[in-house]
Structure 1
Protein backbone atom coordinates (compact mmCIF):
# COMPACT_ATOMS: atom_id res chain seq x y z
CA UNK A 1 0.00 0.00 0.00
CA UNK A 2 2.84 2.39 0.80
CA UNK A 3 4.32 1.81 -2.65
CA UNK A 4 1.08 2.84 -4.31
CA UNK A 5 0.93 6.06 -2.35
CA UNK A 6 4.51 6.98 -3.28
CA UNK A 7 3.86 6.22 -6.94
CA UNK A 8 0.70 8.26 -6.96
CA UNK A 9 2.38 11.21 -5.30
CA UNK A 10 5.42 11.22 -7.63
CA UNK A 11 3.36 11.06 -10.80
CA UNK A 12 2.16 14.65 -11.17
CA UNK A 13 5.39 16.61 -11.63
CA UNK A 14 5.50 20.27 -12.64
CA UNK A 15 2.56 21.60 -14.68
CA UNK A 16 3.37 22.40 -18.31
CA UNK A 17 2.39 26.05 -17.84
CA UNK A 18 5.16 26.44 -15.24
CA UNK A 19 7.70 24.88 -17.61
CA UNK A 20 6.66 27.28 -20.38
CA UNK A 21 6.70 30.26 -18.02
CA UNK A 22 10.17 29.30 -16.77
CA UNK A 23 11.61 29.21 -20.31
CA UNK A 24 9.83 32.45 -21.17
CA UNK A 25 11.51 34.02 -18.13
CA UNK A 26 14.89 32.64 -19.29
CA UNK A 27 14.39 34.10 -22.77
CA UNK A 28 13.33 37.46 -21.35
CA UNK A 29 16.34 37.53 -19.00
CA UNK A 30 18.69 36.71 -21.90
CA UNK A 31 17.17 39.47 -24.05
CA UNK A 32 17.38 41.99 -21.19
CA UNK A 33 21.01 41.04 -20.52
CA UNK A 34 21.95 41.45 -24.20
CA UNK A 35 20.16 44.82 -24.37
CA UNK A 36 21.86 46.04 -21.19
CA UNK A 37 25.28 44.89 -22.43
CA UNK A 38 24.85 46.71 -25.77
CA UNK A 39 23.71 49.87 -23.97
CA UNK A 40 26.77 49.70 -21.71
CA UNK A 41 29.10 49.23 -24.71
CA UNK A 42 27.51 52.22 -26.47
CA UNK A 43 27.88 54.34 -23.32
CA UNK A 44 31.54 53.41 -23.02
CA UNK A 45 32.14 54.27 -26.70
CA UNK A 46 30.45 57.66 -26.25
CA UNK A 47 32.45 58.38 -23.09
CA UNK A 48 35.69 57.36 -24.81
CA UNK A 49 34.99 59.72 -27.72
CA UNK A 50 34.57 57.09 -30.44
CA UNK A 51 30.85 57.79 -30.98
CA UNK A 52 28.79 60.99 -31.09
CA UNK A 53 25.66 60.73 -28.98
CA UNK A 54 22.38 60.80 -30.91
CA UNK A 55 21.59 64.43 -30.08
CA UNK A 56 25.07 65.76 -30.98
CA UNK A 57 24.26 66.60 -34.62
CA UNK A 58 21.07 68.60 -34.05
CA UNK A 59 22.43 70.25 -30.90
CA UNK A 60 25.62 71.49 -32.60
CA UNK A 61 24.28 72.24 -36.09
CA UNK A 62 24.57 76.04 -35.80
CA UNK A 63 28.09 75.97 -34.32
CA UNK A 64 29.36 73.48 -36.93
CA UNK A 65 27.70 75.41 -39.78
CA UNK A 66 29.20 78.72 -38.65
CA UNK A 67 32.66 77.12 -38.43
CA UNK A 68 32.39 75.56 -41.89
CA UNK A 69 31.05 78.81 -43.38
CA UNK A 70 33.99 80.70 -41.91
CA UNK A 71 36.73 78.15 -42.71
CA UNK A 72 35.32 76.68 -45.92
CA UNK A 73 34.72 73.07 -46.88
CA UNK A 74 37.28 71.25 -49.01
CA UNK A 75 35.83 67.75 -48.70
CA UNK A 76 34.15 65.23 -46.49
CA UNK A 77 37.07 65.27 -44.05
CA UNK A 78 35.98 68.78 -43.00
CA UNK A 79 32.42 67.71 -42.16
CA UNK A 80 31.86 65.90 -38.83
CA UNK A 81 30.51 62.37 -39.26
CA UNK A 82 27.30 63.28 -37.44
CA UNK A 83 26.24 65.02 -40.68
CA UNK A 84 25.55 64.05 -44.26
CA UNK A 85 26.38 66.95 -46.57
CA UNK A 86 25.75 68.69 -49.87
CA UNK A 87 28.07 71.34 -51.30
CA UNK A 88 26.99 73.56 -54.20
CA UNK A 89 29.21 75.86 -56.26
CA UNK A 90 28.24 79.51 -56.77
CA UNK A 91 26.12 78.55 -59.81
CA UNK A 92 24.04 76.10 -57.76
CA UNK A 93 25.57 72.92 -59.22
CA UNK A 94 26.44 69.99 -56.96
CA UNK A 95 30.16 69.73 -56.18
CA UNK A 96 30.10 67.04 -53.48
CA UNK A 97 27.48 65.10 -51.60
CA UNK A 98 26.88 61.88 -49.73
CA UNK A 99 23.10 62.34 -49.78
CA UNK A 100 20.54 60.61 -51.97
CA UNK A 101 16.80 60.47 -52.52
CA UNK A 102 14.44 62.90 -50.84
CA UNK A 103 17.11 64.03 -48.40
CA UNK A 104 19.24 65.17 -51.34
CA UNK A 105 16.33 67.04 -52.91
CA UNK A 106 15.44 68.76 -49.62
CA UNK A 107 19.10 69.67 -49.03
CA UNK A 108 19.42 71.08 -52.59
CA UNK A 109 16.40 73.29 -52.03
CA UNK A 110 17.78 74.65 -48.76
CA UNK A 111 21.32 75.11 -50.14
CA UNK A 112 20.04 76.99 -53.21
CA UNK A 113 18.12 79.30 -50.89
CA UNK A 114 21.33 79.79 -48.87
CA UNK A 115 23.21 80.89 -52.03
CA UNK A 116 21.33 84.19 -51.89
CA UNK A 117 21.64 84.60 -48.11
CA UNK A 118 24.03 86.97 -46.35
CA UNK A 119 27.39 85.53 -45.23
CA UNK A 120 27.18 84.14 -41.72
CA UNK A 121 23.49 83.27 -42.08
CA UNK A 122 22.59 79.73 -41.03
CA UNK A 123 19.12 78.41 -41.77
CA UNK A 124 18.16 75.45 -39.57
CA UNK A 125 15.04 73.42 -40.15
CA UNK A 126 13.72 70.28 -38.49
CA UNK A 127 12.86 67.90 -41.27
CA UNK A 128 10.78 65.51 -39.20
CA UNK A 129 11.53 61.85 -38.56
CA UNK A 130 14.50 62.91 -36.45
CA UNK A 131 16.16 64.88 -39.27
CA UNK A 132 17.69 68.35 -38.96
CA UNK A 133 18.80 70.40 -41.97
CA UNK A 134 21.25 73.32 -41.76
CA UNK A 135 22.09 75.39 -44.85
CA UNK A 136 24.53 78.29 -45.15
CA UNK A 137 26.57 80.22 -47.74
CA UNK A 138 30.30 79.45 -47.93
CA UNK A 139 33.02 82.06 -47.64
CA UNK A 140 34.46 81.55 -51.14
CA UNK A 141 31.07 81.30 -52.84
CA UNK A 142 28.66 78.43 -53.03
CA UNK A 143 26.59 76.93 -50.28
CA UNK A 144 26.50 73.89 -48.04
CA UNK A 145 23.67 71.91 -46.49
CA UNK A 146 24.17 69.57 -43.55
CA UNK A 147 21.69 66.85 -42.64
CA UNK A 148 21.79 65.13 -39.27
CA UNK A 149 19.71 62.22 -38.11
CA UNK A 150 18.89 61.55 -34.47
CA UNK A 151 21.15 58.49 -34.23
CA UNK A 152 24.55 57.80 -32.67
CA UNK A 153 27.37 58.20 -35.23
CA UNK A 154 31.02 57.14 -35.25
CA UNK A 155 33.42 60.06 -34.71
CA UNK A 156 35.76 58.80 -37.45
CA UNK A 157 34.70 57.98 -41.02
CA UNK A 158 37.27 55.15 -40.95
CA UNK A 159 35.19 53.11 -38.49
Structure 2
Protein backbone atom coordinates (compact mmCIF):
# COMPACT_ATOMS: atom_id res chain seq x y z
CA UNK A 1 0.00 0.00 0.00
CA UNK A 2 1.34 3.43 -0.95
CA UNK A 3 2.03 6.18 1.57
CA UNK A 4 -0.88 8.17 0.13
CA UNK A 5 -3.25 5.20 0.39
CA UNK A 6 -2.16 4.78 4.01
CA UNK A 7 -3.06 8.43 4.61
CA UNK A 8 -6.43 7.83 2.97
CA UNK A 9 -6.96 4.73 5.13
CA UNK A 10 -6.27 6.86 8.21
CA UNK A 11 -9.10 9.09 6.98
CA UNK A 12 -11.37 6.06 6.62
CA UNK A 13 -11.14 6.09 2.82
CA UNK A 14 -10.54 3.07 0.62
CA UNK A 15 -10.16 3.85 -3.05
CA UNK A 16 -12.84 2.22 -5.20
CA UNK A 17 -12.14 0.53 -8.50
CA UNK A 18 -11.73 3.15 -11.21
CA UNK A 19 -15.00 3.67 -13.06
CA UNK A 20 -15.07 2.70 -16.73
CA UNK A 21 -15.86 5.47 -19.23
CA UNK A 22 -19.50 5.58 -20.32
CA UNK A 23 -18.89 7.16 -23.74
CA UNK A 24 -16.16 7.72 -26.34
CA UNK A 25 -13.37 9.10 -24.13
CA UNK A 26 -10.48 7.88 -22.00
CA UNK A 27 -10.62 7.95 -18.19
CA UNK A 28 -7.18 9.60 -18.20
CA UNK A 29 -4.44 10.66 -20.56
CA UNK A 30 -0.76 10.87 -19.72
CA UNK A 31 1.53 13.19 -21.63
CA UNK A 32 5.05 13.40 -20.29
CA UNK A 33 4.83 13.93 -16.55
CA UNK A 34 1.22 15.15 -16.61
CA UNK A 35 -1.85 12.99 -16.15
CA UNK A 36 -5.20 14.56 -16.98
CA UNK A 37 -8.10 12.70 -15.40
CA UNK A 38 -11.53 12.99 -16.99
CA UNK A 39 -14.37 14.38 -14.94
CA UNK A 40 -15.49 12.08 -12.15
CA UNK A 41 -18.98 12.01 -10.73
CA UNK A 42 -19.81 11.75 -7.04
CA UNK A 43 -20.28 7.98 -7.13
CA UNK A 44 -20.08 6.27 -3.76
CA UNK A 45 -18.09 3.11 -2.95
CA UNK A 46 -20.96 1.05 -4.41
CA UNK A 47 -20.54 2.82 -7.77
CA UNK A 48 -23.89 4.58 -7.45
CA UNK A 49 -25.13 8.09 -6.78
CA UNK A 50 -26.62 8.55 -3.32
CA UNK A 51 -30.04 10.26 -3.37
CA UNK A 52 -28.51 13.23 -1.49
CA UNK A 53 -26.10 13.75 -4.40
CA UNK A 54 -28.69 13.84 -7.18
CA UNK A 55 -30.10 17.13 -8.38
CA UNK A 56 -29.25 20.80 -8.11
CA UNK A 57 -27.50 22.71 -5.39
CA UNK A 58 -29.87 25.42 -4.25
CA UNK A 59 -32.90 23.39 -5.35
CA UNK A 60 -33.00 20.24 -3.25
CA UNK A 61 -29.32 19.44 -2.66
CA UNK A 62 -27.85 21.09 0.42
CA UNK A 63 -24.43 22.78 0.43
CA UNK A 64 -23.24 20.15 2.93
CA UNK A 65 -24.32 17.32 0.61
CA UNK A 66 -22.63 19.18 -2.24
CA UNK A 67 -19.32 19.34 -0.35
CA UNK A 68 -19.55 15.61 0.37
CA UNK A 69 -20.32 14.99 -3.32
CA UNK A 70 -17.21 16.98 -4.32
CA UNK A 71 -15.16 14.94 -1.83
CA UNK A 72 -16.41 11.73 -3.45
CA UNK A 73 -15.43 13.11 -6.86
CA UNK A 74 -11.90 13.72 -5.54
CA UNK A 75 -11.72 10.16 -4.18
CA UNK A 76 -12.76 8.90 -7.62
CA UNK A 77 -10.12 11.12 -9.25
CA UNK A 78 -7.47 9.49 -7.08
CA UNK A 79 -8.81 6.05 -8.02
CA UNK A 80 -8.45 6.93 -11.73
CA UNK A 81 -4.99 8.35 -11.11
CA UNK A 82 -3.91 5.14 -9.38
CA UNK A 83 -5.26 3.12 -12.31
CA UNK A 84 -3.27 5.33 -14.69
CA UNK A 85 0.10 5.29 -12.91
CA UNK A 86 -0.11 2.21 -10.67
CA UNK A 87 1.16 3.84 -7.47
CA UNK A 88 -0.04 7.10 -5.94
CA UNK A 89 3.40 7.66 -4.43
CA UNK A 90 4.46 8.63 -7.97
CA UNK A 91 2.30 11.77 -7.66
CA UNK A 92 4.42 14.90 -7.42
CA UNK A 93 1.49 17.29 -7.07
CA UNK A 94 -2.10 18.05 -7.92
CA UNK A 95 -1.73 20.79 -10.52
CA UNK A 96 -5.37 21.72 -11.16
CA UNK A 97 -8.93 20.77 -10.34
CA UNK A 98 -11.95 21.80 -12.36
CA UNK A 99 -15.33 21.63 -10.65
CA UNK A 100 -18.75 21.56 -12.24
CA UNK A 101 -21.61 22.18 -9.83
CA UNK A 102 -25.16 21.30 -10.93
CA UNK A 103 -26.75 24.44 -9.49
CA UNK A 104 -29.81 26.59 -9.63
CA UNK A 105 -29.10 30.03 -11.16
CA UNK A 106 -29.24 31.77 -7.78
CA UNK A 107 -26.92 29.38 -5.90
CA UNK A 108 -23.90 31.41 -4.78
CA UNK A 109 -21.87 28.88 -2.76
CA UNK A 110 -20.05 27.15 -5.64
CA UNK A 111 -16.60 27.70 -4.13
CA UNK A 112 -17.63 26.28 -0.76
CA UNK A 113 -19.01 23.15 -2.42
CA UNK A 114 -15.82 22.66 -4.43
CA UNK A 115 -13.80 22.93 -1.22
CA UNK A 116 -14.91 19.34 -0.54
CA UNK A 117 -12.63 18.20 -3.39
CA UNK A 118 -9.84 20.67 -2.69
CA UNK A 119 -9.71 19.81 1.00
CA UNK A 120 -9.49 16.07 0.24
CA UNK A 121 -6.54 16.63 -2.12
CA UNK A 122 -4.66 18.50 0.61
CA UNK A 123 -5.56 15.86 3.20
CA UNK A 124 -4.31 13.08 0.91
CA UNK A 125 -1.28 14.75 -0.70
CA UNK A 126 -0.28 17.36 1.88
CA UNK A 127 1.29 20.49 0.38
CA UNK A 128 1.51 18.68 -2.97
CA UNK A 129 -2.30 18.66 -2.95
CA UNK A 130 -2.57 22.46 -3.20
CA UNK A 131 -3.67 23.30 -6.73
CA UNK A 132 -5.02 25.84 -9.17
CA UNK A 133 -8.79 25.59 -9.57
CA UNK A 134 -11.82 26.59 -11.57
CA UNK A 135 -15.36 26.13 -10.35
CA UNK A 136 -18.45 26.79 -12.42
CA UNK A 137 -22.16 26.29 -12.02
CA UNK A 138 -23.81 24.30 -14.78
CA UNK A 139 -27.39 23.62 -15.82
CA UNK A 140 -27.06 19.82 -15.86
CA UNK A 141 -24.59 16.98 -15.31
CA UNK A 142 -24.66 13.31 -16.37
CA UNK A 143 -27.08 11.20 -14.32
CA UNK A 144 -28.29 14.46 -12.70
CA UNK A 145 -25.24 14.26 -10.41
CA UNK A 146 -24.76 17.23 -8.10
CA UNK A 147 -21.02 17.58 -8.79
CA UNK A 148 -18.34 16.51 -11.28
CA UNK A 149 -14.62 17.18 -10.84
CA UNK A 150 -11.71 16.78 -13.28
CA UNK A 151 -8.03 16.97 -12.44
CA UNK A 152 -4.48 17.37 -13.68
CA UNK A 153 -1.55 15.82 -11.82
CA UNK A 154 2.20 15.87 -12.16
CA UNK A 155 3.77 12.43 -11.71
CA UNK A 156 7.24 10.90 -11.77
Q: Quick check: TM above 0.5?
A: no
Q: Report which structure shows greater RCO (CA 8 Å, sep ≥6).
A: 2
TM-score, with length taken from structure 2: 0.24
**More helix per residue:** 1
**Which has more radius of gyration?**
1
**More strand per residue:** 2
